[in-house]
Structure 1
Amino acid sequence: MERELKEEIIEELKKKELPSELEIKDLIIDKVIDRTRDMTLPIEYKNNLIRDLFNSICRYDILQILLENKDIDEIMVNGPEYIFYEKAGKIYRENRTFENTDQLENIIQTIVGKMNKIVNQAKPIVDVRLDDGSRVNVVLKPIAIDGPVLTIRKFNKSFLKMEDLLIKDTINQEALEFLKLLVRSRYNIFISGGTSSGKTTFLNLLAGFIPVDERLITIEDSAELSIRNIPNLIRLEGRQLDNDNFDTHIDIRKLIKTALRMRPDRIIVGEVRGHEAFDMLTAMNTGHEGSMSTGHANSAKDMLLRLLTMVLVGNDLREDVGVNLIKSGIDIVIQLQRQHDGRKLVGIYEILKNESALVLNTLFERDKLGALIRISELKNQEKLNIYENNQNFKKE
């Protein structure tokens, strides 16, 4: 019945000139009431039918309910029959499916078209951002062998607080207070973790500890950060290569260089993946203490090795120069991990400055029972002492 009603409504809409959404909804309600007049159906069924028809015609069809669910973080569509979503760190399968590939491709074209982008067999991969900030990735045939793949990482409008992470055991109070002190003391912090381990969320929360009188510049490939406590905030976003027009491409490296001319107190680089690591570390080494960034790795040690590779490739540097750049640029590495019971901070590490290689001092780590415990004291306390002396001076 839903398919027949949809076809009937679309035919009527073709006769109207740019109907408003209110007019479309009124037409849907009239059609549903007329069609079900002689049927004994629960009112809930009729309401759901009206909702589904409206979403199918004016929104994103069966994905709309998932998009409106505030508890869902990510939506994954693997062809018309397999829809999954992530909720509270766990992945579930949606029981509804698209009728066929054409229906899914129509939704994809609707999403991409609204953002003035193109995706087709000649250009089968595209990244766009919805009006609410959610990130969308699309891959079509022939790259996606089994049919269109659509992934939506939802933008969380609600401002998550550290108290929420304490409840979820992502972090404990002692580690939280320690990180707060490090941010205030202007330690350069790098957050490492695997895919969907909560790096951006944690970066947002650490940024909440930055004093409100500082000038902050954020740099991202795709804007995801939601920093609300800094009035003197500049947000920069890279621009992807569009239709092979190199003149339109603005990468992270260029944005970092631009940011340095804008008199920042601190710089936050959403994520480093390649050559821009050199520019980020250079910024951290040239008077922009208290800066932060994130990267993909399964351990803090692996993250340092990845950073070293990023710095050396394409920059014609000796290995020892790259090592010194990382040691002098980054003070603290935070490791996050996505586990079966949610996202966890599994370690806080200090990069030792007096070693010839990249050596980590473990400050906090999870024990065998999963509890986050203090392992050792911070060795490099110079910035901490300066901050505490300044605080004491202000009190006097």
Structure 2
Amino acid sequence: MSSFGKKGELPLTEEDTVPPPSLLVPQPPARARPEPETLRPGTTTSDAIHEQVLQKIEPGVAVQLTREELTTRVQHMVAQIASEQRLTLNQQEQDTLAVHIVDEMVGLGPLEPLLRDTSVSDILVNGPFMIYVERRGKLELVKLQFRNDAHVLHVAQRIASSIGRRVDGSSPMLDARLADGSRVNVIIAPLSLRGTCVSIRKFSRNIVEFSKFTELGTVSSELARALEICSRCRLNIIISGGTGSGKTTVLNALSGMIDPGERIITIEDAVELQLQQPHVIQLETRPPNIEGHGEVTQRDLMKNCLRMRPDRIILGEVRGGEAFDMMQAMNTGHSGSMSTIHANSARDALARIENMILMANANLPLRAIRGQIVSAIDLLVHTERMRDGVRRVVEVAYVAGLEAETISLGTLFQFKFLGENPDGTLRGTFKASPARPRFLGRMEYFGLAQAFLDTLGTRSENLEERER
């Protein structure tokens, strides 16, 4: 029997390596020690030990242990089985196998190492044998796999049961949130022809500030300063972009400029925002139950939060009828509110908001809707994940007004592509457009108008003299 004791300690006896009886499934008394088991054709040593450990462990007892306690006991069982059956596994292989078994029992199986990997931002499971991850803005296929589709479905059902939901033939789609805040979407057969597919957007605990954005090439120093001023001066800001373009990350950075004395209410489908202010109320939607009742939408929460005396309202993503309520709130004393929207450009973002308001209030004339939008929105920030994997703010526009039937936009900053570097990254510049947007008066009230004009390269002049 090999020794598992640390240096300076007595070696463990055979009795020490046997896990406490309470962890084991009750077994009939053994009449004689069995001969070493012959592995089935195509079965690896690790797979054989894995199956035997799972057969011996009592699940009801295992779930009452902490992860560390369970891992220690599973390590003892792996060592015992390997010794009894004279299977060749070194200490590192035994420890790795024990971790995999624990991941299978109380975690998400093959996905656990990816959830622990801080370089991974998205995990995409396309059936049992194809798992992609996103690192630094690029997708890559990993070697990890599930055993079969039933294994993937079991993991998906474990996620669903942890939040009191279900995913099966009668409810084949699921939106959920893991304990660490990561967002999960599940879709199963027959809707998915590849079998069970799982998409996980990992929750990042790192708050990215504008200084870091500048280092990453997301913004220039002038653009970063301009956005900080816009947030501090309580402008109403919409952040647009495609999926995974960094909208929420930019929104988090903008929220860092909010005064700690303000009362902030956030509304999200799944909580992602990480505001650092002390007075923050986070509201989260609720899907319908199995009978189809009890749903609470973003619009329901939007209407309710107006009765909660907010200074600022931050809507995680506007995607439906709540767009109308958001415009109303921005126009009725809740300046400094922010939201994100999926769109291909700043102009498209306004068109999408129009369509959402029309769907919610079909009887409103289009000119009235556009008038609401012009009065409500001050700034549009458009982000993109570019082909080198870097997420950049590619356009910052301001709402200039309503000309005839068209909303007029002005450009403050725009990313100009110049070429490609030898390492594959894109080379470009954030070009500022000298302008005097209509919200300059509000910036003057906060004493930051000239600082904002300096970021645009606008000629310095005394604002009071200009107004006279």
Class of the TM-score when normalised by the shorter of the 2 chains: over 0.9
Task: Please say if residues 2 and 53 of structure 1, whose CA atoms lie closer than 8 Å, have aligned partners that are also in contact.
Answer: no
Match of 1:394 in 2: none
* Aligned with residue 383 of structure 1, among 436, 442, 457: 442
Matches within 5 A, 1:54-69: 54-69=102-117
Instruction: Give, in angstroms, the shift of residue 212 of structure 1.
Output: 0.9
**Letter of the 1:233 counterpart:** V
TM-score (norm: length of structure 2): 0.80
Computing the radius of gyration over CA atoms, which structure comes out larger, 1 or 2? 2
Task: Please say if residues 184 and 209 of structure 1, whose CA atoms lie closer than 8 Å, have aligned partners that are also in contact.
Answer: yes
Instruction: Give, in angstroms, the shift of residue 276 of structure 1.
Output: 0.9
Match of 1:290 in 2: 336
Instruction: Give, in angstroms, the shift of residue 178 of structure 1.
Output: 0.5
Task: Please say if residues 384 and 393 of structure 2, whose CA atoms lie closer than 8 Å, have aligned partners that are also in contact.
Answer: yes
Distance across 2 between alignment mates of 1:106 and 1:172: 46
Match of 1:257 in 2: 303
Instruction: Give, in angstroms, the shift of residue 36 of structure 1.
Output: 4.1
**Letter of the 1:358 counterpart:** I
Match of 1:31 in 2: 77
Distance across 1 between alignment mates of 2:130 and 2:346: 35
Task: Please say if residues 5 and 31 of structure 1, whose CA atoms lie closer than 8 Å, have aligned partners that are also in contact.
Answer: no
State yes or no: 1:308 paired with 2:354. yes
Instruction: Give, in angstroms, the shift of residue 40 of structure 1.
Output: 5.7
Distance across 2 between alignment mates of 1:74 and 1:327: 36
Distance across 2 between alignment mates of 1:195 and 1:136: 15
Matches within 5 A, 1:1-396: 1-14=45-58, 17-18=61-62, 20-21=65-66, 22-37=68-83, 41-228=89-276, 230-246=277-293, 248-315=294-361, 316-341=363-388, 342-353=390-401, 355-356=403-404, 357-369=406-418, 370-380=428-438, 381-388=440-447
Distance across 2 between alignment mates of 1:65 and 1:106: 18
Task: Please say if residues 72 and 85 of structure 1, whose CA atoms lie closer than 8 Å, have aligned partners that are also in contact.
Answer: yes
Distance across 1 between alignment mates of 2:206 and 2:247: 17
Instruction: Give, in angstroms, the shift of residue 90 of structure 1.
Output: 1.0
- Indicate the SS of the match to 1:62: helix
**Letter of the 2:444 counterpart:** N
Task: Please say if residues 214 and 265 of structure 1, whose CA atoms lie closer than 8 Å, have aligned partners that are also in contact.
Answer: yes
Distance across 2 between alignment mates of 1:17 and 1:74: 33
Number of matched pairs: 390
Deviation larger for 73-82 or 46-55: 46-55
Deviation larger for 350-359 or 364-373: 350-359
Structure 1: gaps of 5 or more residues: 392-396
Task: Please say if residues 50 and 101 of structure 2, whose CA atoms lie closer than 8 Å, have aligned partners that are also in contact.
Answer: yes
Match of 2:22 in 1: none
Instruction: Give, in angstroms, the shift of residue 339 of structure 1.
Output: 1.0
Distance across 2 between alignment mates of 1:368 and 1:9: 57
Instruction: Give, in angstroms, the shift of residue 59 of structure 1.
Output: 1.5
Distance across 1 between alignment mates of 2:349 and 2:417: 23
Task: Please say if residues 191 and 336 of structure 1, whose CA atoms lie closer than 8 Å, have aligned partners that are also in contact.
Answer: yes
Instruction: Give, in angstroms, the shift of residue 58 of structure 1.
Output: 2.3
Structure 2: gaps of 5 or more residues: 1-44, 419-427, 451-468
**Letter of the 1:73 counterpart:** S
Distance across 2 between alignment mates of 1:24 and 1:289: 52
TM-score (norm: length of structure 1): 0.94
- Indicate the SS of the match to 2:310: coil
- Indicate the SS of the match to 1:367: strand
Distance across 2 between alignment mates of 1:30 and 1:49: 11
**Letter of the 2:349 counterpart:** M
Distance across 1 between alignment mates of 2:330 and 2:227: 18
Distance across 2 between alignment mates of 1:301 and 1:211: 30
- Indicate the SS of the match to 1:388: coil
- Cα gap change, 1:231 to 1:40, in 2 (>3 Å): same
Distance across 1 between alignment mates of 2:116 and 2:296: 32
**Letter of the 1:338 counterpart:** R
Distance across 2 between alignment mates of 1:327 and 1:314: 18
**Letter of the 2:442 counterpart:** K
Task: Please say if residues 49 and 82 of structure 2, whose CA atoms lie closer than 8 Å, have aligned partners that are also in contact.
Answer: no
Cα-to-partner distance string for 1:298-331 (whole Å, 9 max, x where unaligned): 1111111111111122311111011111111101
Task: Please say if residues 334 and 348 of structure 1, whose CA atoms lie closer than 8 Å, have aligned partners that are also in contact.
Answer: yes
**Letter of the 1:322 counterpart:** I
Which of 1 and 2 has higher RCO (CA within 8 Å, sep 6+)? 1
Cα-to-partner distance string for 1:88-134 (whole Å, 9 max, x where unaligned): 11111111211111111111111111111111011100111111111
Deviation larger for 161-170 or 41-50: 41-50
Cα-to-partner distance string for 1:19-72 (whole Å, 9 max, x where unaligned): 524553233212322344456655433332222122122211110000011111
Task: Please say if residues 324 and 356 of structure 2, whose CA atoms lie closer than 8 Å, have aligned partners that are also in contact.
Answer: yes
